[in-house]
Amino acid sequence: MVRFENVGMRYGAGPEVLSDVTFTLPPGSFHFVTGPSGAGKSSLLKLMYLAHRPSRGFITLFSRDVTRVPRRELPELRRRIGVVFQDFRLIQHLSAFDNVALPLRVSGSREDVVRKHVTELLTWVGLKDHLHARPPTLSGGQQQRIAIARAVIAHPSLLLADEPTGNVDDTIAVRLLYLFEELNRMGTTVVIATHNKSLIARFSHPVMHLEDGELTVLNRDAEKK
Amino acid sequence: MSESQAVLPLSGDSSSRLLPWIIGIMVYLGAVILAGAMVLAAAAAAWNDELTAAFTVQVAPLDGEKDGEIETRIRNTAKMLRNVPGVAIVNVVPAETTMAALEPWLGPNLKAQDLPLPRVIDVRLEKVGAVDLAALAKEISKDIKGVVVDSHEYWRGQIESLVRTLELLATVVIVLIGFSAMAAVVFATRSGVAVHRDVIEVLHLIGATDQYVAKQFQRQAFRVSLLGSLFGGLLAVITLFGFGRLLSDLDAVLLPAPTLAPWEWIALGIVPILACLIATMTARHTVIRALRRMP
Protein backbone atom coordinates (compact mmCIF):
# COMPACT_ATOMS: atom_id res chain seq x y z
CA MET A 1 0.00 0.00 0.00
CA VAL A 2 2.61 2.56 1.15
CA ARG A 3 6.37 2.18 0.78
CA PHE A 4 9.01 4.76 1.67
CA GLU A 5 12.60 4.12 0.67
CA ASN A 6 15.37 6.41 1.96
CA VAL A 7 13.03 9.36 1.70
CA GLY A 8 14.31 12.82 2.47
CA MET A 9 12.23 16.00 2.46
CA ARG A 10 12.99 19.68 2.78
CA TYR A 11 10.91 22.83 2.33
CA GLY A 12 12.51 24.95 -0.35
CA ALA A 13 16.20 25.41 0.36
CA GLY A 14 15.78 24.76 4.09
CA PRO A 15 17.24 21.87 6.07
CA GLU A 16 15.87 18.34 5.72
CA VAL A 17 12.82 17.80 7.90
CA LEU A 18 12.79 14.08 7.10
CA SER A 19 15.94 12.05 6.54
CA ASP A 20 16.33 8.54 5.17
CA VAL A 21 12.81 7.47 6.13
CA THR A 22 12.19 3.87 5.13
CA PHE A 23 9.09 1.80 5.95
CA THR A 24 6.32 -0.25 4.38
CA LEU A 25 2.63 -0.21 5.34
CA PRO A 26 0.71 -3.25 4.17
CA PRO A 27 -2.87 -2.88 2.90
CA GLY A 28 -5.45 -2.88 5.70
CA SER A 29 -2.90 -1.97 8.40
CA PHE A 30 -3.37 0.57 11.19
CA HIS A 31 -0.40 2.66 12.32
CA PHE A 32 0.23 5.52 14.67
CA VAL A 33 2.91 8.09 13.89
CA THR A 34 4.18 9.76 17.00
CA GLY A 35 6.99 11.99 18.14
CA PRO A 36 7.53 15.43 19.67
CA SER A 37 6.33 18.62 18.02
CA GLY A 38 8.48 19.45 15.01
CA ALA A 39 9.65 15.86 14.62
CA GLY A 40 8.24 15.66 11.09
CA LYS A 41 4.89 13.90 11.62
CA SER A 42 2.92 16.36 9.52
CA SER A 43 5.63 16.39 6.85
CA LEU A 44 5.53 12.61 6.65
CA LEU A 45 1.76 12.74 6.20
CA LYS A 46 2.08 15.49 3.56
CA LEU A 47 4.25 13.16 1.54
CA MET A 48 1.68 10.41 1.95
CA TYR A 49 -1.28 12.55 0.87
CA LEU A 50 0.75 13.89 -2.04
CA ALA A 51 0.85 17.52 -0.95
CA HIS A 52 4.62 17.48 -1.36
CA ARG A 53 7.19 15.54 -3.31
CA PRO A 54 10.26 14.18 -1.54
CA SER A 55 13.61 15.83 -2.16
CA ARG A 56 15.15 12.36 -2.45
CA GLY A 57 14.28 8.69 -2.17
CA PHE A 58 11.26 6.80 -3.49
CA ILE A 59 7.64 6.62 -2.39
CA THR A 60 5.35 3.93 -3.69
CA LEU A 61 1.62 4.36 -3.19
CA PHE A 62 -0.98 1.92 -4.52
CA SER A 63 1.89 0.26 -6.42
CA ARG A 64 2.75 3.55 -8.19
CA ASP A 65 6.04 5.37 -7.84
CA VAL A 66 4.54 8.72 -6.82
CA THR A 67 7.90 10.51 -6.90
CA ARG A 68 7.75 10.34 -10.67
CA VAL A 69 4.03 10.29 -11.36
CA PRO A 70 2.97 13.14 -13.70
CA ARG A 71 1.02 15.94 -12.06
CA ARG A 72 -2.09 15.23 -14.16
CA GLU A 73 -2.34 11.76 -12.59
CA LEU A 74 -2.24 13.03 -9.00
CA PRO A 75 -6.00 13.75 -8.66
CA GLU A 76 -6.86 10.12 -9.39
CA LEU A 77 -4.42 8.95 -6.68
CA ARG A 78 -5.56 11.62 -4.20
CA ARG A 79 -9.16 10.46 -4.55
CA ARG A 80 -8.09 7.16 -3.01
CA ILE A 81 -6.72 8.97 0.05
CA GLY A 82 -8.84 10.47 2.82
CA VAL A 83 -7.21 13.14 4.96
CA VAL A 84 -8.21 14.63 8.29
CA PHE A 85 -6.11 17.76 8.57
CA GLN A 86 -4.79 19.02 11.87
CA ASP A 87 -6.67 22.31 11.41
CA PHE A 88 -9.59 20.54 9.63
CA ARG A 89 -9.30 22.83 6.59
CA LEU A 90 -13.04 23.00 6.12
CA ILE A 91 -14.32 25.45 3.54
CA GLN A 92 -15.81 28.14 5.71
CA HIS A 93 -18.51 29.46 3.38
CA LEU A 94 -19.89 26.01 2.59
CA SER A 95 -22.36 24.13 4.78
CA ALA A 96 -21.45 20.94 6.64
CA PHE A 97 -23.29 19.02 3.93
CA ASP A 98 -21.40 20.70 1.08
CA ASN A 99 -18.03 20.25 2.79
CA VAL A 100 -18.61 16.52 3.18
CA ALA A 101 -20.02 16.26 -0.35
CA LEU A 102 -16.91 17.77 -1.98
CA PRO A 103 -14.89 14.56 -2.53
CA LEU A 104 -17.90 12.96 -4.23
CA ARG A 105 -18.61 16.00 -6.35
CA VAL A 106 -15.04 16.45 -7.55
CA SER A 107 -15.02 12.83 -8.63
CA GLY A 108 -18.24 13.41 -10.60
CA SER A 109 -20.79 11.50 -8.50
CA ARG A 110 -24.47 11.97 -9.29
CA GLU A 111 -26.23 14.50 -7.07
CA ASP A 112 -28.82 11.99 -5.80
CA VAL A 113 -26.00 9.66 -4.73
CA VAL A 114 -24.21 12.57 -3.06
CA ARG A 115 -27.34 13.58 -1.17
CA LYS A 116 -28.00 10.06 0.07
CA HIS A 117 -24.46 9.23 1.20
CA VAL A 118 -23.67 12.59 2.78
CA THR A 119 -26.91 12.68 4.76
CA GLU A 120 -26.30 9.12 5.97
CA LEU A 121 -22.72 9.85 7.03
CA LEU A 122 -23.51 13.13 8.77
CA THR A 123 -26.31 11.34 10.63
CA TRP A 124 -23.82 8.63 11.61
CA VAL A 125 -21.37 11.17 13.07
CA GLY A 126 -24.21 12.86 14.95
CA LEU A 127 -24.60 15.97 12.85
CA LYS A 128 -27.98 15.28 11.29
CA ASP A 129 -29.36 18.51 12.73
CA HIS A 130 -26.46 20.56 11.41
CA LEU A 131 -26.50 19.68 7.70
CA HIS A 132 -26.81 23.29 6.63
CA ALA A 133 -24.68 24.85 9.35
CA ARG A 134 -21.46 26.52 8.29
CA PRO A 135 -18.22 25.59 10.10
CA PRO A 136 -17.78 28.91 11.94
CA THR A 137 -21.10 28.33 13.70
CA LEU A 138 -20.08 24.86 14.93
CA SER A 139 -17.91 23.76 17.86
CA GLY A 140 -14.38 22.37 17.42
CA GLY A 141 -15.61 18.83 17.99
CA GLN A 142 -18.41 19.21 15.45
CA GLN A 143 -15.99 20.65 12.88
CA GLN A 144 -13.69 17.73 13.52
CA ARG A 145 -16.48 15.27 12.81
CA ILE A 146 -17.24 17.08 9.54
CA ALA A 147 -13.54 16.84 8.64
CA ILE A 148 -13.59 13.11 9.38
CA ALA A 149 -16.81 12.61 7.43
CA ARG A 150 -15.25 14.43 4.46
CA ALA A 151 -12.17 12.22 4.70
CA VAL A 152 -14.14 8.96 4.64
CA ILE A 153 -17.14 9.79 2.41
CA ALA A 154 -15.50 8.45 -0.76
CA HIS A 155 -14.39 5.18 0.94
CA PRO A 156 -10.66 5.86 0.64
CA SER A 157 -8.13 3.05 0.49
CA LEU A 158 -5.81 5.05 2.71
CA LEU A 159 -6.96 7.27 5.58
CA LEU A 160 -4.50 9.76 7.06
CA ALA A 161 -5.27 11.81 10.13
CA ASP A 162 -3.03 14.54 11.50
CA GLU A 163 -3.65 15.04 15.23
CA PRO A 164 -7.34 14.19 14.86
CA THR A 165 -7.90 14.23 18.61
CA GLY A 166 -6.14 17.51 19.26
CA ASN A 167 -9.30 19.53 19.87
CA VAL A 168 -11.46 17.06 21.75
CA ASP A 169 -11.54 15.59 25.23
CA ASP A 170 -10.29 12.08 25.94
CA THR A 171 -13.72 10.43 25.74
CA ILE A 172 -14.42 11.80 22.27
CA ALA A 173 -10.82 11.06 21.24
CA VAL A 174 -11.27 7.40 22.10
CA ARG A 175 -14.61 7.30 20.27
CA LEU A 176 -12.93 8.78 17.21
CA LEU A 177 -10.24 6.13 17.36
CA TYR A 178 -12.93 3.44 17.49
CA LEU A 179 -14.44 5.02 14.39
CA PHE A 180 -11.07 4.78 12.62
CA GLU A 181 -10.74 1.17 13.75
CA GLU A 182 -14.14 0.42 12.27
CA LEU A 183 -13.07 1.89 8.96
CA ASN A 184 -9.86 -0.12 9.21
CA ARG A 185 -11.89 -3.30 9.68
CA MET A 186 -13.71 -2.43 6.46
CA GLY A 187 -10.36 -2.54 4.64
CA THR A 188 -9.05 1.02 4.84
CA THR A 189 -5.36 1.44 5.67
CA VAL A 190 -5.17 3.96 8.50
CA VAL A 191 -2.29 6.18 9.60
CA ILE A 192 -2.80 8.53 12.53
CA ALA A 193 -0.25 11.12 13.56
CA THR A 194 -0.54 12.07 17.22
CA HIS A 195 1.66 12.95 20.16
CA ASN A 196 -1.01 11.76 22.60
CA LYS A 197 0.85 8.79 24.11
CA SER A 198 -1.92 7.91 26.56
CA LEU A 199 -4.29 7.51 23.65
CA ILE A 200 -1.83 5.36 21.70
CA ALA A 201 -1.38 3.19 24.79
CA ARG A 202 -5.08 2.27 24.71
CA PHE A 203 -4.66 0.58 21.32
CA SER A 204 -2.38 -2.16 20.15
CA HIS A 205 -1.51 -0.85 16.72
CA PRO A 206 2.10 -0.43 15.56
CA VAL A 207 3.73 2.94 16.18
CA MET A 208 6.19 4.80 13.98
CA HIS A 209 8.24 7.15 16.09
CA LEU A 210 9.79 10.21 14.52
CA GLU A 211 12.56 12.19 16.17
CA ASP A 212 14.38 15.05 14.39
CA GLY A 213 13.08 13.89 11.05
CA GLU A 214 14.28 10.34 11.46
CA LEU A 215 12.13 7.30 11.89
CA THR A 216 13.47 5.59 14.97
CA VAL A 217 10.91 3.00 16.02
CA LEU A 218 8.66 1.02 13.76
CA ASN A 219 6.62 -1.26 16.01
CA ARG A 220 5.09 -1.56 19.47
CA ASP A 221 7.49 -4.25 20.63
CA ALA A 222 10.49 -2.18 19.72
CA GLU A 223 8.98 0.84 21.47
CA LYS A 224 8.33 -1.18 24.63
CA LYS A 225 11.94 -2.37 24.70
CA MET B 1 -25.40 23.16 -3.29
CA SER B 2 -25.34 21.49 -6.66
CA GLU B 3 -22.12 20.77 -8.53
CA SER B 4 -22.73 23.84 -10.63
CA GLN B 5 -22.66 26.14 -7.62
CA ALA B 6 -19.47 27.88 -6.62
CA VAL B 7 -17.08 26.13 -4.25
CA LEU B 8 -14.86 29.19 -4.44
CA PRO B 9 -16.62 32.39 -3.30
CA LEU B 10 -15.26 34.39 -6.24
CA SER B 11 -18.25 36.71 -6.59
CA GLY B 12 -17.34 38.38 -3.30
CA ASP B 13 -13.83 39.30 -4.44
CA SER B 14 -13.17 43.01 -4.90
CA SER B 15 -11.54 42.32 -8.29
CA SER B 16 -14.72 40.54 -9.42
CA ARG B 17 -16.82 43.54 -8.44
CA LEU B 18 -14.76 45.86 -10.66
CA LEU B 19 -14.45 43.54 -13.61
CA PRO B 20 -18.01 43.95 -15.04
CA TRP B 21 -17.43 47.69 -15.26
CA ILE B 22 -14.08 47.28 -16.99
CA ILE B 23 -15.50 44.73 -19.45
CA GLY B 24 -18.56 46.93 -19.99
CA ILE B 25 -16.44 49.97 -20.85
CA MET B 26 -14.25 47.86 -23.16
CA VAL B 27 -17.30 46.45 -24.96
CA TYR B 28 -18.78 49.92 -25.25
CA LEU B 29 -15.60 51.40 -26.74
CA GLY B 30 -15.06 48.40 -29.01
CA ALA B 31 -18.64 48.49 -30.33
CA VAL B 32 -18.66 52.25 -30.89
CA ILE B 33 -15.29 52.20 -32.68
CA LEU B 34 -16.35 49.22 -34.81
CA ALA B 35 -19.62 50.96 -35.69
CA GLY B 36 -17.69 54.14 -36.53
CA ALA B 37 -15.33 52.20 -38.78
CA MET B 38 -18.25 50.49 -40.54
CA VAL B 39 -20.15 53.77 -41.06
CA LEU B 40 -17.00 55.38 -42.38
CA ALA B 41 -16.33 52.48 -44.72
CA ALA B 42 -19.91 52.69 -46.02
CA ALA B 43 -19.60 56.45 -46.48
CA ALA B 44 -16.30 56.05 -48.30
CA ALA B 45 -17.82 53.40 -50.55
CA ALA B 46 -20.71 55.76 -51.35
CA TRP B 47 -18.31 58.62 -52.12
CA ASN B 48 -16.19 56.34 -54.23
CA ASP B 49 -19.23 55.12 -56.19
CA GLU B 50 -20.31 58.69 -56.79
CA LEU B 51 -16.86 59.72 -57.99
CA THR B 52 -16.43 56.62 -60.14
CA ALA B 53 -19.82 56.99 -61.81
CA ALA B 54 -19.04 60.52 -62.95
CA PHE B 55 -16.26 62.56 -64.46
CA THR B 56 -15.59 66.20 -65.18
CA VAL B 57 -14.51 67.79 -68.41
CA GLN B 58 -12.76 71.13 -68.19
CA VAL B 59 -12.69 73.46 -71.19
CA ALA B 60 -9.91 75.98 -70.61
CA PRO B 61 -9.77 79.39 -72.37
CA LEU B 62 -7.13 79.52 -75.08
CA ASP B 63 -4.66 82.35 -75.64
CA GLY B 64 -6.06 84.91 -78.07
CA GLU B 65 -9.47 83.26 -78.11
CA LYS B 66 -12.25 85.67 -79.13
CA ASP B 67 -15.49 86.11 -77.12
CA GLY B 68 -17.97 83.35 -77.86
CA GLU B 69 -15.39 80.94 -79.24
CA ILE B 70 -15.13 79.12 -75.91
CA GLU B 71 -18.93 78.69 -75.90
CA THR B 72 -18.63 76.98 -79.30
CA ARG B 73 -15.97 74.62 -77.99
CA ILE B 74 -18.14 73.87 -74.95
CA ARG B 75 -21.18 73.13 -77.09
CA ASN B 76 -19.12 70.85 -79.38
CA THR B 77 -17.59 69.04 -76.42
CA ALA B 78 -21.02 68.52 -74.80
CA LYS B 79 -22.42 67.30 -78.12
CA MET B 80 -19.57 64.80 -78.46
CA LEU B 81 -20.06 63.59 -74.91
CA ARG B 82 -23.81 63.09 -75.38
CA ASN B 83 -23.05 60.78 -78.28
CA VAL B 84 -20.68 58.57 -76.26
CA PRO B 85 -22.34 55.21 -75.38
CA GLY B 86 -22.69 54.82 -71.58
CA VAL B 87 -23.01 58.52 -70.83
CA ALA B 88 -26.28 59.29 -69.05
CA ILE B 89 -26.22 63.02 -68.27
CA VAL B 90 -24.11 65.86 -69.62
CA ASN B 91 -24.49 69.06 -67.65
CA VAL B 92 -22.65 72.21 -68.67
CA VAL B 93 -22.01 74.14 -65.48
CA PRO B 94 -22.82 77.84 -66.07
CA ALA B 95 -19.93 80.28 -65.59
CA GLU B 96 -22.00 82.05 -62.91
CA THR B 97 -22.17 78.85 -60.88
CA THR B 98 -18.37 78.49 -61.03
CA MET B 99 -17.97 82.11 -59.96
CA ALA B 100 -20.48 81.64 -57.14
CA ALA B 101 -18.46 78.66 -55.92
CA LEU B 102 -15.31 80.84 -55.90
CA GLU B 103 -16.96 83.88 -54.35
CA PRO B 104 -16.09 83.01 -50.71
CA TRP B 105 -12.40 83.12 -51.65
CA LEU B 106 -12.27 85.78 -54.39
CA GLY B 107 -14.97 88.21 -53.27
CA PRO B 108 -18.29 89.36 -54.83
CA ASN B 109 -16.98 91.91 -57.31
CA LEU B 110 -15.28 89.46 -59.62
CA LYS B 111 -16.61 89.00 -63.16
CA ALA B 112 -16.34 85.76 -65.12
CA GLN B 113 -14.28 87.53 -67.76
CA ASP B 114 -11.72 88.78 -65.24
CA LEU B 115 -10.10 85.41 -64.72
CA PRO B 116 -9.15 82.76 -67.28
CA LEU B 117 -11.24 80.15 -65.50
CA PRO B 118 -11.96 76.87 -67.25
CA ARG B 119 -15.59 75.99 -67.88
CA VAL B 120 -16.78 72.75 -66.39
CA ILE B 121 -18.96 70.00 -67.87
CA ASP B 122 -20.30 67.51 -65.35
CA VAL B 123 -20.83 64.06 -66.87
CA ARG B 124 -22.75 61.16 -65.24
CA LEU B 125 -22.37 57.61 -66.45
CA GLU B 126 -25.12 55.03 -66.79
CA LYS B 127 -23.02 52.73 -64.62
CA VAL B 128 -19.51 52.51 -63.12
CA GLY B 129 -16.91 51.75 -65.82
CA ALA B 130 -19.35 52.33 -68.71
CA VAL B 131 -16.84 54.56 -70.52
CA ASP B 132 -13.12 54.18 -71.20
CA LEU B 133 -12.07 57.61 -69.94
CA ALA B 134 -8.50 57.46 -71.26
CA ALA B 135 -9.70 56.72 -74.81
CA LEU B 136 -12.40 59.36 -74.55
CA ALA B 137 -9.93 62.01 -73.37
CA LYS B 138 -7.66 61.20 -76.30
CA GLU B 139 -10.52 61.42 -78.80
CA ILE B 140 -11.89 64.74 -77.52
CA SER B 141 -8.41 66.30 -77.35
CA LYS B 142 -7.87 65.30 -80.97
CA ASP B 143 -10.90 67.29 -82.16
CA ILE B 144 -11.18 70.11 -79.65
CA LYS B 145 -8.29 72.07 -78.14
CA GLY B 146 -7.92 72.93 -74.43
CA VAL B 147 -10.10 70.09 -73.11
CA VAL B 148 -9.06 68.11 -70.03
CA VAL B 149 -10.90 65.01 -68.76
CA ASP B 150 -10.74 64.60 -64.98
CA SER B 151 -11.64 61.04 -63.87
CA HIS B 152 -11.54 62.04 -60.13
CA GLU B 153 -8.82 59.44 -59.67
CA TYR B 154 -6.80 61.74 -57.40
CA TRP B 155 -9.76 62.28 -55.04
CA ARG B 156 -10.65 58.60 -55.07
CA GLY B 157 -7.07 57.73 -54.12
CA GLN B 158 -7.12 60.28 -51.29
CA ILE B 159 -10.38 58.94 -49.90
CA GLU B 160 -9.28 55.32 -50.17
CA SER B 161 -6.02 56.14 -48.40
CA LEU B 162 -7.84 58.01 -45.62
CA VAL B 163 -10.36 55.22 -45.13
CA ARG B 164 -7.67 52.56 -45.07
CA THR B 165 -5.72 54.53 -42.46
CA LEU B 166 -8.82 55.02 -40.30
CA GLU B 167 -9.76 51.34 -40.62
CA LEU B 168 -6.25 50.32 -39.58
CA LEU B 169 -6.42 52.73 -36.65
CA ALA B 170 -9.81 51.32 -35.59
CA THR B 171 -8.44 47.77 -35.81
CA VAL B 172 -5.40 48.68 -33.70
CA VAL B 173 -7.59 50.40 -31.09
CA ILE B 174 -10.02 47.43 -30.96
CA VAL B 175 -7.10 45.01 -30.56
CA LEU B 176 -5.66 47.20 -27.78
CA ILE B 177 -9.06 47.27 -26.07
CA GLY B 178 -9.16 43.46 -26.32
CA PHE B 179 -5.70 43.20 -24.76
CA SER B 180 -6.67 45.60 -21.97
CA ALA B 181 -9.76 43.50 -21.22
CA MET B 182 -7.61 40.37 -21.19
CA ALA B 183 -5.12 42.04 -18.83
CA ALA B 184 -7.97 42.97 -16.47
CA VAL B 185 -9.24 39.38 -16.48
CA VAL B 186 -5.71 38.02 -15.92
CA PHE B 187 -5.27 40.36 -12.96
CA ALA B 188 -8.65 39.45 -11.44
CA THR B 189 -8.04 35.73 -11.94
CA ARG B 190 -4.53 35.80 -10.47
CA SER B 191 -5.78 37.74 -7.51
CA GLY B 192 -8.62 35.21 -7.12
CA VAL B 193 -6.15 32.32 -7.15
CA ALA B 194 -4.02 34.09 -4.53
CA VAL B 195 -6.98 34.94 -2.29
CA HIS B 196 -8.47 31.44 -2.44
CA ARG B 197 -5.19 29.51 -2.44
CA ASP B 198 -6.09 27.64 0.75
CA VAL B 199 -9.41 26.40 -0.61
CA ILE B 200 -7.79 25.46 -3.93
CA GLU B 201 -5.18 23.45 -2.04
CA VAL B 202 -7.91 21.58 -0.18
CA LEU B 203 -9.74 20.92 -3.44
CA HIS B 204 -6.54 19.55 -4.96
CA LEU B 205 -5.88 17.36 -1.95
CA ILE B 206 -9.32 15.79 -2.09
CA GLY B 207 -8.75 14.94 -5.75
CA ALA B 208 -10.02 17.92 -7.73
CA THR B 209 -8.37 18.33 -11.11
CA ASP B 210 -7.03 21.66 -12.37
CA GLN B 211 -9.94 21.66 -14.83
CA TYR B 212 -12.44 21.41 -11.95
CA VAL B 213 -10.88 24.42 -10.24
CA ALA B 214 -10.50 26.30 -13.53
CA LYS B 215 -14.19 25.75 -14.24
CA GLN B 216 -15.04 27.75 -11.12
CA PHE B 217 -13.03 30.71 -12.42
CA GLN B 218 -14.37 30.27 -15.95
CA ARG B 219 -17.97 30.41 -14.73
CA GLN B 220 -17.29 33.51 -12.71
CA ALA B 221 -15.47 35.20 -15.62
CA PHE B 222 -18.36 34.32 -17.94
CA ARG B 223 -20.97 35.67 -15.51
CA VAL B 224 -19.04 38.85 -14.89
CA SER B 225 -18.22 39.45 -18.57
CA LEU B 226 -21.81 38.74 -19.60
CA LEU B 227 -23.02 41.35 -17.15
CA GLY B 228 -20.41 43.86 -18.35
CA SER B 229 -21.04 43.04 -22.01
CA LEU B 230 -24.79 43.56 -21.67
CA PHE B 231 -24.20 46.89 -19.99
CA GLY B 232 -21.57 48.01 -22.51
CA GLY B 233 -23.52 46.70 -25.50
CA LEU B 234 -26.72 48.44 -24.42
CA LEU B 235 -24.88 51.70 -23.85
CA ALA B 236 -23.26 51.38 -27.31
CA VAL B 237 -26.66 50.85 -28.99
CA ILE B 238 -28.07 53.91 -27.21
CA THR B 239 -25.03 55.95 -28.27
CA LEU B 240 -25.27 54.82 -31.90
CA PHE B 241 -28.99 55.61 -32.09
CA GLY B 242 -28.39 58.99 -30.46
CA PHE B 243 -25.53 59.76 -32.82
CA GLY B 244 -27.63 58.65 -35.80
CA ARG B 245 -30.46 60.97 -34.76
CA LEU B 246 -28.02 63.83 -34.31
CA LEU B 247 -26.46 63.37 -37.75
CA SER B 248 -29.78 62.90 -39.52
CA ASP B 249 -30.89 66.27 -38.06
CA LEU B 250 -27.83 67.97 -39.56
CA ASP B 251 -27.74 69.21 -43.14
CA ALA B 252 -24.73 67.00 -43.71
CA VAL B 253 -23.45 67.27 -47.25
CA LEU B 254 -20.33 65.20 -46.81
CA LEU B 255 -21.64 62.55 -44.44
CA PRO B 256 -24.28 60.14 -45.66
CA ALA B 257 -26.87 58.90 -43.16
CA PRO B 258 -24.98 56.81 -40.53
CA THR B 259 -27.13 53.73 -40.90
CA LEU B 260 -25.87 50.18 -40.39
CA ALA B 261 -26.79 47.22 -42.54
CA PRO B 262 -28.26 44.12 -40.84
CA TRP B 263 -24.95 42.26 -41.13
CA GLU B 264 -23.21 45.21 -39.48
CA TRP B 265 -25.63 45.01 -36.54
CA ILE B 266 -24.79 41.29 -36.35
CA ALA B 267 -21.07 42.17 -36.35
CA LEU B 268 -21.72 44.60 -33.49
CA GLY B 269 -23.67 41.89 -31.64
CA ILE B 270 -20.61 39.67 -31.88
CA VAL B 271 -18.53 42.18 -29.85
CA PRO B 272 -20.14 41.34 -26.46
CA ILE B 273 -20.15 37.62 -27.30
CA LEU B 274 -16.47 37.85 -28.20
CA ALA B 275 -15.79 39.73 -24.96
CA CYS B 276 -17.46 36.92 -22.95
CA LEU B 277 -15.50 34.31 -24.86
CA ILE B 278 -12.18 36.13 -24.44
CA ALA B 279 -12.81 36.70 -20.71
CA THR B 280 -13.78 33.06 -20.15
CA MET B 281 -10.86 31.62 -22.09
CA THR B 282 -8.40 34.09 -20.54
CA ALA B 283 -9.58 33.15 -17.05
CA ARG B 284 -9.22 29.45 -17.85
CA HIS B 285 -5.75 29.86 -19.34
CA THR B 286 -4.58 32.06 -16.45
CA VAL B 287 -5.86 29.78 -13.72
CA ILE B 288 -4.50 26.61 -15.36
CA ARG B 289 -1.08 28.26 -15.61
CA ALA B 290 -1.25 29.37 -11.96
CA LEU B 291 -2.40 25.92 -10.78
CA ARG B 292 0.49 24.22 -12.55
CA ARG B 293 2.80 25.97 -10.11
CA MET B 294 0.91 24.43 -7.17
CA PRO B 295 1.67 20.94 -5.82
Residues B107, B190, single domain; the answer is: no
Q: Domain check: are A76 and A160 in the same one?
A: yes
Contact B200, B291 (CB under 8 A): yes
Residue B254 domain flag: yes
Question: Are A160 and A148 in a shared domain?
Answer: no
- The DSSP H or E segment spanning B92 is strand B87-92
pLDDT at B65 (0 to 100): 76
Per-residue pLDDT tens digits for B244-270: 887 777 655 555 666 788 888 899 899
A88 touches chain B (CB under 8 A): no
> How confident is the model over B120-171, as pLDDT tens digits?
898 888 877 777 877 887 888 888 888 888 877 788 788 888 888 888 999 9
| pLDDT tens-place string over residues A142-178 | 898 899 999 999 999 999 999 887 767 777 788 888 8
pLDDT score at B24: 94
Q: Are residues A147 and A165 in the same domain?
A: no
Q: How far apart are CA A19 and CA B202, in angstroms?
A: 27
Number of H helices, E strands in chain A: 8, 10
- Share of residues in chain B with pLDDT > 70 (%): 93
In this complex, the residue of B2, B206, B209 whose CB is nearest that of residue A103 is: B206
Lowest mean pLDDT among A37-46, B59-68, B171-180, B209-218: B59-68
DSSP state of A55: S
Among A111, A129, A152, the domain boundary falls at A152
Residue A202 gets which letter from DSSP? T
Handedness of CA B152, B158, B164, B166 (dihedral sign): negative
Which residues make beta-bridge pairs with B91?
B122
| B139 in any annotated domain | no
As a whole number of angstroms, the distance between CA B224 and CA B278 comes to 12
Distances (CA, A) of A79 to A11, A189, B256: 25, 14, 66
Domain boundary among B84, B111, B126: B126
User: Do B181 and B214 belong to one domain?
Assistant: yes
Query: B208: which chain A residues are within 8 Å (Cβ-Cβ)?
Result: 75, 106
Whether residue B2 has pLDDT greater than 70: no
Residue of A25, A1, A28 whose CA lies nearest to A189? A28
Residue pair B264/B202 in contact (Cβ under 8 Å)? The answer is no
Residues 6+ apart with CB under 8 A from B279: B19, B23, B181, B182, B185, B221, B222, B224, B225
Q: How far apart are CA A9 and CA A16, in angstroms?
A: 5
> Any alpha helices (H) in B144-152, and if so which ranges?
none
DSSP state of A218: -
Range of the domain at B45: 10-49+156-292
Kindly report the backbone phi and psi dihedral angles of residue A169, in degrees, each rounded to the nearest multiple of 5, phi listed first.
Answer: -75, 170
d(CA B163, CA B37): 9
Q: Which of B205, B213, B291, B292 should be substituted to probe chain A, the one whose Cβ sees the most A Cβ atoms within 10 Å?
A: B205
Domain range for A141 = 90-152
**How many domains in chain A?**
2
Lowest model confidence (mean pLDDT) among A10-14, B108-112, B173-177: B108-112
Q: How many domains does chain B have?
A: 2
CA distance A138 to A134: 7
Sheet holding A2-10, edge to edge: A16-25, A2-10, A56-61, A64-65
Query: Same structural domain for residues B208 and B275?
Result: yes
Q: Do A106 and B1 touch (CB under 8 A)?
A: no
Q: Average pLDDT, whole number, for chain B? A: 85
Report if pTM > 0.90.
no
Residues A38 and A66 in one domain: yes
Give residue-wise pLDDT tens across range B224-239. 999 999 999 999 999 9
**Of B172, B290, B232, B250, which is closest to residue B31 (Cα–Cα)?**
B232
**Amino acid in the structure at residue B189:** T
| Structural domain includes residue B93 | yes
> To which H or E segment does residue A189 belong?
strand A189-193
Q: Where are the alpha helices (DSSP H) in chain A?
A: 41-48, 74-78, 96-106, 111-124, 140-152, 170-185, 197-201, 220-224
Contact B89, B82 (CB under 8 A): no
- Tell me, yes or no, if B42 comes closer than 8 A to chain A by beta carbon: no
The reply to whether A53 falls in a domain is yes
> Could you tell me if B42 and B83 lie in one domain?
no
| pLDDT confidence of residue B252 | 55
Q: Does a structural domain hold residue B145?
A: no
User: Which chain A residue has its CA at the smallest distance from B213's CA?
Assistant: A106
Nearest CA in chain A to B9: A93
Residues 6+ apart with CB under 8 A from B82: B90
Angstroms from B24 CA to nearest CA on chain A:
29
Digit-coded pLDDT (tens) for A104-116: 999 999 999 999 9
What gap in Å lies between CA B1 and CA B14, rounded to an integer? 23
Query: How far apart are the C-alpha atoms of B118 and B149, rounded to whole Å?
Result: 12
